[in-house]
Amino acid sequence: MEFPNLEYINQLAGGDAAIKMKLIHIIKTEFPEEKKEYYRSIEVGVFPRIEENVHRVKHKISILGLTKGYEVANAFEYNLRNLDLKGKEDFEKILIVITEYIKTI
């Protein structure tokens, strides 16, 4: 099981605390919104919208260093393009992990 980390953000910020805080702030504010949007789209069942939501979250998954999680999201996004929900549960597990993690940063 892999865990989110701030390695990429630290590397990018290069010791600049302001940049680091800005990036963390964006994740903390945008991720809950994106997650909410995703579940709303799942309820409605419009595949292109779900795909769009997954695509947006996918970038944050990679920023938080979840390499395997990124692959899971990628595969799910591909399946959604083919109107297939395969990979939904695994993707949603990642959402839970990130939700817990961002409470700590």
Partner 1 sequence: MKCIIIDDEKMARVILKTLCNEIQSLEVLEDFPNAIEAIKYLNKNRVDLIFLDIHMPNFNGLDFIRSLKDPPKIILITSDPNFAIEAFEYDFIVDYLLKPLQLDRFKKAIEKAKTKNLTLASKETSTSINEIENDFYISIDRRLIKIDLPSIYLIEAKGDYIKIKTENKDYIVHSTLKKIEEKLPDSLFLKIHRSFIINLKKIIDIEDNSVLIKKDVIPVSRSKRPELMKRLDLL
> Is 42 a residue that touches partner 1 (CB under 8 A)?
no
What 3-state DSSP class applies to 65?
coil
User: Least distance from C-beta 24 to partner 1, angstroms?
Assistant: 11
> Is 23 a residue that touches partner 1 (CB under 8 A)?
yes
What one-letter code names the amino acid at 68? K
CA distances to 8, 20, 65 from 50, in Å: 26, 29, 23
As a whole number of angstroms, the distance between CA 27 and CA 63 comes to 9
Site for partner 1 in 45-84 (CB under 8 A): 52, 55-56, 58-60, 62-63, 74
Q: Which of 3, 10, 22, 84 binds partner 1 (CB under 8 A)?
A: 22
Of 70, 16, 92, 51, residue with least CA distance to 24: 16
Residues that bind partner 1 (CB under 8 A): 8, 11-13, 19, 22-23, 26-27, 30, 52, 55-56, 58-60, 62-63, 74
